[in-house]
Structure 1
Amino acid sequence: MEPIVSVENVKKTYKKRKEDTVVKAVDDVSFQVHKGEIVGLLGPNGAGKTTTIKMICGLLKMDEGKIIVNGLDNDKHRLKALNHISAVLEGNRNLYWRLTVRENLEYFAGNRGKSKKQVQGQIKYLLQLFHLEDKENELVNRLSRGMQQKLAIAVAMLADTEIILLDEPTLGLDVETSYEVRDILKQIVEKENRTIIISSHDMGVIQAVCERVIIINHGKVVTDNRVEELMELFNARQYTITLGEFLTEEQLTQMTACFPNFEYDSEQAKPKLTVELLSAEQIYQVFDILKQNETPVENIDRNTINFEQVFMEIIKEDSDYANDPSVSSELS
């Protein structure tokens, strides 16, 4: 099946102001998104994620590479390609504050060439879906942050584009509204077969609604995988072992040598050892160290982690790799 969005070997550099230094914001990024997917595009600040989003939306011109939107090259056929995308971008004015909820929907529909008569049924549906029926005649500047954000997504949906790009859709929302937006996004994909690309720092949203995540760091794609598989991979790694006795200095030294990131809580009567395993077989190394002093084991728990921890671990591992002198010398 042909992807609906294809980013191919895209590069983008910036020149620092008043300096000759060139910064690689996006460095040979490639990924694909298929119709009906809901995909998270993630990355820490300065990783190149926002630049990538702006290039997909046609707001920035790439230096090298290609972006194909529903079969159209968005460099050669920019306007035609952008007819297939609607976006809600954080930091942009996505609504007119001196218009009412309904007037905003009618206005932006008109920008897409649709008359009021054509969109009345769709507006009614969207007002119900986003629970905005009671606010349809309210000025936008009088709405709560949550209602404004829901309306912005409704406006994006009204465009009837196959692809919806959402940048920080739950930023600043209260918990209840955030969960409401999550449910709505799931319905959009399931019932309407739209394709959604979400950029967010709210890892709870990513874990709840995305099937797959693409993580960018240092201008490169470091992970492109299903959320479920990443959760399973990292869940299997970390264990907390409750001990019947304290570890000796020699045991602690050996633990440090084998597991540099282990944690040891000796502030309570039953000390706890938390260790992260790179492979299932490493659990035997832990037991070998405990066996040396016949340290009793009272309980073993496999730690359950959330996607925020998975994200941080992936970024940490990538940064450790990038900063390793031996790796740097091999790449230079």
Structure 2
Amino acid sequence: MTQPVVEVKNLKKSYKKRKTKAYITAVDDISFTVNKGEILGLLGPNGAGKTTTIKMICGLVVPDSGSILINNTDNQKKRLRAREHISAVLEGNRNLYWRLTVRENLEYFAGNRGKSRKEVSAQIDELLEQFHLQDKENELVNRLSRGMQQKLAIAVAMLANTEVILLDEPTLGIDIETGYEVREILRDIVREQKKTIIITSHDMDVIEDLCERTVIINNGKIVTDDRVENLLKLFEVRAYSIKLGGHLSKEQHDTLLQKFPQLVYTPDTYQSMLEVDLTKSEAIYDLFDVLKLEQIPVDTIDRKTINFEQVFMKIVKGENEYALPERV
């Protein structure tokens, strides 16, 4: 059995509303684990409790109840020791000192962890090469592009040599080319150094590309904890594209729409298309019955390609009617 590197158990956190005595529950009894060498996507819409969860994992916010173990160390009872096992890049380039050069930033943050310039000199050289920052090592950070700043912030986190790295929006605001470069660097970090990475992002392409598993939080609770490929398959079987042999009459269209309100009809010059996302995969048989009853000719039927952004939106809207898989 794989020993989790991060264990979140029954975590709760409430905040008092301003100017009132009422409390709002930000995180409501959530539990999940992250295994060694895993890239986990921790997702949720704004106000879902994701940011509070992140801050509790980093030790920046104290939970009301529950526990967080980082490499089997309780981050409340042994906070400093737990922090030795996790580093974070929160809000991207705000983790850097803008009036220091690239190399000076790396040396400064290494010093914060008690390491001398001499001790980390070789490691800094390796990171500058790995992140393609050699030509910018003597450049002030405030003169770098957003992409360069983001890469440096991740390099700073890597310098700590922790088992767990938490990255908050690692590709936010950077160009497409740099975004792909960052993704490849992160894959190398996991593949070669067996690091564990937790990523939060609103870029679902990044999550789909990098993460094997995702935990989605909404209204303070975990609504999904599953492999990305499982979630894609789950919704793929419910999304269909149907090419018709002719056009629908108004009566046929109204009948279909009454039974399947989510259906989209696109008339074309010669053929027409029906696109429909079904709540349950077996509902396709009900659709066939209506098409047959209304004598609507069907040329082809295909499953629609669905991306993870669509999956995320469906889950947040409550369209995933399945139980959370048990974590072993």
- TM value normalised by structure 2: 0.93
Write out per-residue CA displacement over residues 193-239 of structure 1, whole angstroms, 9 at most, x where no aligned residue: 00000011011111111110000000000000011111111122111
Matched, 1:164 2:178: no
- Name the counterpart of 1:30: 31
Change (3 A) 1:319 1:207: closer
Displacement of 1:107 = 1.0
Displacement of 1:320 = 11
- Name the counterpart of 2:59: 58
Question: Retained in 1: the 8 A contact 2:85–2:164?
Answer: yes
Matched, 1:146 2:132: no
| Distance of 2:288 and 2:186 partners within structure 1 | 46
- Name the counterpart of 1:325: none
Question: Retained in 1: the 8 A contact 2:93–2:153?
Answer: no
| Distance of 2:37 and 2:295 partners within structure 1 | 55
Q: How does 1:88-167 map to 2 (within 5 A)?
A: 88-90=89-91, 93-167=94-168
Query: Structure 1: which amino acid aligns with 2:146?
Result: R
Question: Retained in 1: the 8 A contact 2:150–2:170?
Answer: yes
| Distance of 1:38 and 1:136 partners within structure 2 | 29
Query: Structure 2: which amino acid aligns with 1:296?
Result: P
For structure 1, the residue ranges without an aligned partner over 5 or more in a row are 322-332
Tell me which moved more, 184-193 or 246-255: 246-255
User: What is the SS of the residue equivalent to 1:213?
Assistant: strand
- Name the counterpart of 2:326: none
Q: How does 1:278-297 map to 2 (within 5 A)?
A: 278-297=279-298
Tell me which moved more, 218-227 or 312-321: 312-321
CA RMSD of aligned residues (A): 1.9
Displacement of 1:279 = 4.0
Matched, 1:273 2:297: no
- TM value normalised by structure 1: 0.92
| Distance of 1:239 and 1:264 partners within structure 2 | 12
Q: How does 1:45-84 map to 2 (within 5 A)?
A: 45-84=46-85
Displacement of 1:243 = 1.0
- Name the counterpart of 2:7: 6
| Distance of 1:299 and 1:176 partners within structure 2 | 38
Query: Structure 2: which amino acid aligns with 1:175?
Result: I
| Distance of 1:245 and 1:89 partners within structure 2 | 54
Displacement of 1:294 = 2.2
| Distance of 2:32 and 2:231 partners within structure 1 | 17
| Distance of 1:252 and 1:147 partners within structure 2 | 53
User: What is the SS of the residue equivalent to 1:67?
Assistant: strand
Matched, 1:174 2:175: yes
For structure 2, the residue ranges without an aligned partner over 5 or more in a row are 323-328
Write out per-residue CA displacement over residues 34-76 of structure 1, whole angstroms, 9 at most, x where no aligned residue: 1111000000000000000000001101011111111111111
- Name the counterpart of 1:328: none
Question: Retained in 1: the 8 A contact 2:56–2:63?
Answer: yes
Displacement of 1:111 = 1.0
